[in-house]
């Protein structure tokens, strides 16, 4: 059994696949602990894993400029968090550390860890390599503007000095190309579509054999991306269409802030697998997890990007693949209405989405990721044995 420490950024799409991989590692006899910001704790504990709160997450938030989300920037890059991680590595004594690709403080502090380290990215790498470079540079620059010491700002220094870069997407949808140091360390393990325990089944007000198409509206579950106006625009867009709409708000806002319609119901959380088995279309922010789940079910999408830098890229990809429509982030209810109508009325969108669903056959990202972890553990143990024999 190995002790694995996961240094986590619990963004909307980051935590569910992390929990799915951790579940597979646990089934194989390993112990996985997650360390992260306060907002992460309840979800990790609800999933049955040990959660370690990084209590200094926002200690230095007042130092950060209001150019990006100051609380997130403080958690991801502040010296207080880096010190807490350094102490945790010593006290926890893990055999292997997994670091979220979005977490510079953890990426820097684990660079000198005496054991295998894996950086995990829960969206495409090659398709949005320049956006990743810009995002990490932004975070490091925010740290500098807060008056803290210099850190590496280059993606290759932050990511590729670790043993593996594990990417939870389909390699066929993220074709490798040049521009990344040590590409031999990149592993596309495939999507991990974990169903969290709070995602409960629900009873819809329509009969299962109702012919009206079901449209699922799912934007980010991340509190920082919550937008009542965006949800309301989607609800208003569905009002005048012969469809049934299901809106899931997640943790991004209180569902009571939304005004439902006669043909639209609103839930805080819901089982997306249950809904997608019945749905004909997904209206989404383009988060990687929702996009992958929709494609697995062969569902076309209308994508309205939020804050995360991969979401406009994903919107463009869906449109480029012919599996849906991409809209601007400030899309109006009329724009959403027309896009939903076009996608439902044009057979080619559904055909393209169903074709992409075939790429998921035989792919289990959680199993593949757990196997990558175990290979690194075996390699580390072999080195230790060789060192002791010498």
Give the model's pLDDT for residue 224: 53
Give the model's pLDDT for residue 197: 47
Q: CB neighbours (10 Å) of residue 215?
A: 27
Give the model's pLDDT for residue 177: 85
Mean of the pLDDT values across residues 125-131? 93
Mean of the pLDDT values across residues 329-346? 97
Structure tokens at 254: 């209180």
Check pLDDT > 70 for residue 252: no
pLDDT (tens digit per residue) in 185-209: 999 999 998 765 445 667 899 988 8
Q: What 3-state DSSP class applies to 43?
A: helix
Q: Which of 322, 308, 349 is nearest to 128 (CA)?
A: 308
Mean of the pLDDT values across residues 346-358? 97
Q: Which of 347, 339, 354 is nearest to 304 (CA)?
A: 339
Structure tokens at 148: 């803290």
pLDDT (tens digit per residue) in 77-111: 999 999 999 999 999 999 999 999 999 999 999 99
Angle, helix 310-320 to helix 288-296, in steps of 10 degrees: 30
Indicate the average pLDDT of the chain: 92
Structure tokens at 131: 């956006």
Mean of the pLDDT values across residues 5-22? 91
Residue 254 confidence class, pLDDT cut points 50, 70, 90: confident
For residue 203, CA distances in Å to 7, 265, 266, 293, 340 come to: 37, 11, 12, 21, 24
Give the model's pLDDT for residue 21: 97
Q: Do residues 302 and 343 touch, judged by C-beta distance below 8 A?
A: yes
Check pLDDT > 90 for residue 309: no
Of residues 99 and 289, which shows the higher confidence score? 99
- In angstroms, the CA 231 to CA 260 distance is 10
Give the model's pLDDT for residue 79: 98
Percent of the chain with pLDDT over 90: 79
Give the model's pLDDT for residue 198: 43
Q: What 3-state DSSP class applies to 284?
A: strand
Kindly write down the DSSP assignment for every residue of 254-296, as one continuous string: -GGGS--BTTEEEESS--HHHHHTT-SEEEE---HHHHHHHHH
Mean of the pLDDT values across residues 141-152? 95
pLDDT (tens digit per residue) in 153-170: 999 999 999 999 999 999
Give the model's pLDDT for residue 108: 97
Q: CB neighbours (10 Å) of residue 46?
A: 13
Domains defined for the chain, CATH in brackets: 3-191+363-389 (3.40.50.2000), 214-360 (3.40.50.2000)
Q: CB neighbours (10 Å) of residue 286?
A: 30
Structure tokens at 26: 């646990």
Give the model's pLDDT for residue 307: 74
Give the model's pLDDT for residue 322: 97
Q: Do residues 121 and 103 touch, judged by C-beta distance below 8 A?
A: no
Residue 178 confidence class, pLDDT cut points 50, 70, 90: confident
For residue 127, CA distances in Å to 20, 78, 132, 289, 312 come to: 24, 29, 10, 16, 11
Give the model's pLDDT for residue 56: 98
pLDDT (tens digit per residue) in 212-243: 999 999 986 555 555 788 999 999 999 989 99
Specify the pTM.
0.89
Mean of the pLDDT values across residues 242-252? 86
Structure tokens at 96: 């292997």
């Amino acid at each position: 059994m190995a002790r694995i420490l996961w240094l986590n950024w619990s963004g909307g799409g980051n935590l569910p696949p992390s929990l799915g991989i951790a579940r597979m590692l646990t089934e194989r006899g390993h112990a996985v602990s997650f360390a992260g910001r306060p907002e992460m704790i309840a979800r990790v504990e609800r999933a049955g894993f040990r959660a370690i709160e990084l209590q200094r997450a926002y200690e230095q938030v007042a130092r950060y400029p209001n150019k990006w989300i100051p609380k997130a920037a403080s958690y991801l890059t502040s010296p207080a968090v880096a010190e807490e991680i350094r102490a945790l590595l010593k006290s926890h004594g893990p055999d292997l550390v997994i670091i979220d690709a979005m977490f510079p403080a953890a990426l820097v502090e684990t660079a000198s860890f005496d054991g295998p380290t894996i950086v995990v990215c829960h969206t495409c790498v090659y398709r949005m390599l320049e956006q990743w470079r810009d995002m990490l540079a932004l975070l490091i620059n925010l740290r500098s503007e807060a008056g803290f010491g210099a850190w590496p700002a280059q993606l290759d220094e932050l990511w590729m000095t670790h043993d593996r870069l594990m990417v939870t997407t389909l390699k066929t949808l993220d074709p490798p190309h040049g521009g990344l140091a040590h590409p031999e360390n990149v592993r596309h393990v495939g999507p991990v579509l974990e169903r969290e325990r709070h995602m409960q089944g629900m009873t819809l007000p329509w009969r299962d054999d109702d012919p009206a198409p079901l449209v699922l509206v799912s934007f980010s579950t991340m509190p920082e991306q919550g937008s009542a106006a965006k949800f309301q625009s989607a609800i208003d867009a569905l009002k005048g269409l012969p469809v049934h709409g299901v809106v899931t708000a997640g943790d991004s806002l209180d569902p009571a802030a939304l005004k439902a319609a006669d043909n639209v119901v609103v839930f805080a959380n819901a089982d997306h697998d249950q809904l997608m088995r019945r749905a004909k279309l997904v209206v989404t922010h383009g988060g990687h997890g929702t996009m992958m789940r929709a494609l697995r079910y062969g569902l076309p999408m209308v994508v309205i990007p939020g804050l995360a830098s991969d979401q406009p890229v994903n919107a463009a990809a869906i449109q480029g693949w012919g599996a849906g429509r991409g809209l601007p982030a400030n899309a109006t209810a009329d724009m959403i209405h027309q896009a939903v109508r076009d996608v439902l009325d044009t057979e080619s969108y559904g055909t393209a989405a169903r074709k992409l669903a075939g790429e998921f056959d035989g792919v289990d990202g959680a199993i593949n990721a757990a196997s990558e972890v175990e290979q690194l553990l075996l390699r580390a143990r072999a080195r230790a044995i060789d060192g002791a024999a010498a």
